[in-house]
Amino acid sequence: MQAIRQGDVILLPVQQVEGQKIHHLILAEGEVTGHRHRISEGEAELSEKYGTLYLRVFSLNALLTHEEHKAIAIPQGHWMVKIQREYEPEGWRYVAD
């Protein structure tokens, strides 16, 4: 499987999901607009370990939605959730969505 990107959120395939289960499916919240990258359809669970989020998709696909981006089908499997960063002369910063 290949990495999947929606806005500033990147999902990387991993062998297994680790961490403490979280009782929501919000992968990231927008700093500027308040919009959310979230799983809106399908069976999935989110967990966190040492500040890193992991997504496990149980159903054939889960739908990743955001108000300003096209919805994306996430295949069944295990995923690490990362927020894209960019370099500026002042240093690294997270991309604002």
pLDDT tens, 62-83? 999 998 888 999 999 999 999 8
pLDDT of 2 > 60? The answer is yes
Residue 36's pLDDT is what? 87
Amino acid at 24: H
Q: Where are the chain's structural domains?
A: 4-94
pLDDT tens digits for 53-66?
999 999 999 999 99
Predicted TM-score (pTM) of the model is 0.82
pLDDT of 93 > 50? The answer is no
3-state SS, 23-62, equals CCCEEEECCCCCCEEEEEECCEEEEEECCEEEEEEEEEEE
pLDDT tens digits for 20-50?
999 999 998 866 667 788 999 999 999 999 9
